[in-house]
Amino acid sequence: MDLCIIGSGYVGLVSGACFAEVGHHVICVDNDQKKVDKLQRGEIPIYEPGLEELVHRNVAARRLRFTNSIEDGLDHSQVVFIAVPTPPQSDGSVDLTYIERVAREIAGVLKPGQYRVIVDKSTVPVKTGEKVADTIRRYNKDAEFDVVSNPEFLREGCAVPDLMNPDRIVVGSSSQRATDLMKQIYEPFRAPILVTDLNSAELIKHAANSFLSLKISYINAVAAICEASGADVEMVADGIGMDKRIGRNFLNAGLGYGGSCFPKDVKAFIAISRQLGTPFALLEEVERINATMLDRFIDKVRGALWVLKDKKIAVWGLTFKPDTDDVRNSVAIELVNKLVAEGAQVSAYDPKGAEKAVEWGLIDPTKVRLTKTPADATDGAEALLLATEWKEFANADLAEVKKRMHTPLVFDGRNHFNPETMRQLGFTYYAVGRPAAV
Ligand code: NAD
């Protein structure tokens, strides 16, 4: 099938490449000319395992191309996906200006007799699809189209496998014609397709991300109780998670959730529920618990080092999770900046995120020493703080790290290391919700 994706970021680009991989012809549109130029030169603007090969293979096979022209995209595609940002506003509600603009742009180029399915893949508040349809109709009386909601559940860091093997595909649609086309598009993926009405599909996405955030905050609250009682949250999480009704996923205690989705989607769901007159106070507690995790962690560091000013501190990890270069709303970045604000001398290492952290102005390279290897960051350090659980850190030569450090003190914000191994190596080791290993 001929598909168009408007917005070629983490969701749009990976979706476009995966649709092409299963045989569709895909045009990815973006209004960021620099990004389009890069993509046309074969450069991939984001890091996502497997994406580069996928894009190159499908461009070479002429199933994938890039443009800045929505008109070009719409002229050649029967189904048009929207994957533009839906950032939060200061009150937590969703900024829908990108979506509204795309709806107007679509209305501007839709030609009479050109039936198109407009599919919203961006994460949007319930009832947005209705507004998209109203907007297109308002600006183009002759437009023939249906609006469908098709929320995306990919996880950055494993977006390609997530898209190629989804747990489910949600299609919110009130038109049989549009639903049939959506089923045809997704047929090669051999995943269960849940067809719902438009509003339910939109709500599924916010409800799902809020529930996952709730699981994280739940285990983090349990971790605090473990610390106060001497229990081990990893054992508690195993014991809870082995119950099939609960599951072990997302029961990982640590510095809390971050990134471009969970914080904004929880905020959005709180705002949506409030606007609808059905406040969701439980989610406010989820946010509150999440916000305490970083301060609890830094308090632990202070407990060992006393004053942080002038202390040499190594931080491993800047991205919000491993296997991505995405540093948006990363707790690791917040950690680095809080340490710097207290006057600590921070050296940081991340396998993929340092460049974007500087490029996007999230880290000041004149205040943070960014190193080329994890071990380099630990030279003379009085403490090592692990903020992102990259595999590279688990495989690091910790004996070498210990030699380079001034004091063998490790604070593990993601419970990534084995406490017994750390003890045997001679570290004093603090994790989250676990007894210290000395
Ligand atoms: P992104 O910022 O990486 O990409 C968005 C792209 O849209 C950018 O390249 C931008 O230049 C482009 N764009 C903006 N306005 C445009 C316009 N008028 N015409 C053409 N292009 C335009 O964002 P993302 O992370 O891909 O997220 C997109 C949506 O998907 C958001 O609603 C997000 O909540 C949702 N989502 C994200 C993820 C994730 O892990 N990143 C997962 C699921 C859902």
Please spell the DSSP secondary structure of 325-340, one letter per residue: ---TT-HHHHHHHHHH
When pLDDT is averaged across residues 248-269 and rounded to a whole number, the result is 97
pLDDT 10s digits, 61-101: 999 999 999 999 999 999 999 999 999 999 999 999 999 99
Q: How far apart are CA 34 and CA 50, in angstroms?
A: 22
Q: What is the percentage of the chain residues whose pLDDT exceeds 70? A: 100
Ligand 1 mean position, distance from CA 346 (Å): 32
- Looking at the chain, the number of H-run helices and the number of E-run strands are 18, 14
Place of tokens 């969703």: 94
Ligand 1 mean position, distance from CA 404 (Å): 42
- Confidence (pTM): 0.95
Domain pair 2-196 / 212-430, same fold: yes
Q: Which atom of ligand 1 is nearest to the CA of 32?
A: 11
Place of tokens 């086309």: 181
Q: Are 303 and 285 in contact (CB under 8 A)?
A: no
Q: What is the mean pLDDT of the chain?
A: 97
Q: Considering Cα of 120, then 123, then 127, then 128, what sign does the dihedral take?
A: negative
Pocket test of ligand 1: the residue of 30, 66, 120, 135 to mutate, having most ligand atoms within 8 Å of its CB, is 30
Fold of 212-430: Rossmann fold (3.40.50)
Q: Place 43 in a pLDDT band, splitting at 50, 70 and 90.
A: very high
Q: Place 313 in a pLDDT band, splitting at 50, 70 and 90.
A: very high
When pLDDT is averaged across residues 50-70 and rounded to a whole number, the result is 98
Ligand 1 mean position, distance from CA 13 (Å): 9
Nearest to 428 by CA among 281, 303, 272, 262: 303
Q: How far apart are CA 155 and CA 255, in angstroms?
A: 18
Look up residue 218 and give its amino acid. Answer: Y
When pLDDT is averaged across residues 419-429 and rounded to a whole number, the result is 97
Q: Which atom of ligand 1 is nearest to the CA of 156?
A: 40
Tokens of 369: 């020493």
For the chain, domain boundaries: 2-196, 212-430
Q: What is the pLDDT of residue 295?
A: 97
Sorted by sequence, the CB contacts under 8 Å of residue 16 that are 6+ apart come out as: 3, 5, 8, 26, 28, 64
For atom 41 of ligand 1, the residue with the nearest CA is 10
For atom 3 of ligand 1, the residue with the nearest CA is 9
Q: Which atom of ligand 1 is nearest to the CA of 101?
A: 18
Ligand 1 mean position, distance from CA 124 (Å): 12
Ligand 1 mean position, distance from CA 268 (Å): 16
Q: How far apart are CA 334 and CA 408, in angstroms?
A: 24
Q: Place 46 in a pLDDT band, splitting at 50, 70 and 90.
A: very high
Pocket test of ligand 1: the residue of 4, 11, 205 to mutate, having most ligand atoms within 8 Å of its CB, is 11
3-state SS, residue 438: coil
4 in active site = no
Ligand 1 mean position, distance from CA 373 (Å): 31
Place of tokens 């996007």: 360
Enumerate residues lining ligand 1, CB below 6 A. Answer: 6-12, 29-32, 35, 83-86, 98, 101-102, 122-123, 152, 154, 156, 260-261
Q: How many CB atoms lie within 10 A of CB 164?
A: 18
Q: Are 346 and 336 in contact (CB under 8 A)?
A: yes
Fold of 2-196: Rossmann fold (3.40.50)
Q: What is the pLDDT of residue 108?
A: 97
Q: Are 327 and 360 in contact (CB under 8 A)?
A: yes
4, 28, 226, 261: the active-site residue: 261
For atom 37 of ligand 1, the residue with the nearest CA is 11
Cα separations in angstroms, 249 against 90, 113, 163, 240, 279: 31, 48, 19, 11, 27
When pLDDT is averaged across residues 329-337 and rounded to a whole number, the result is 98
When pLDDT is averaged across residues 279-301 and rounded to a whole number, the result is 98
Look up residue 85 and give its amino acid. Answer: P
When pLDDT is averaged across residues 375-392 and rounded to a whole number, the result is 98
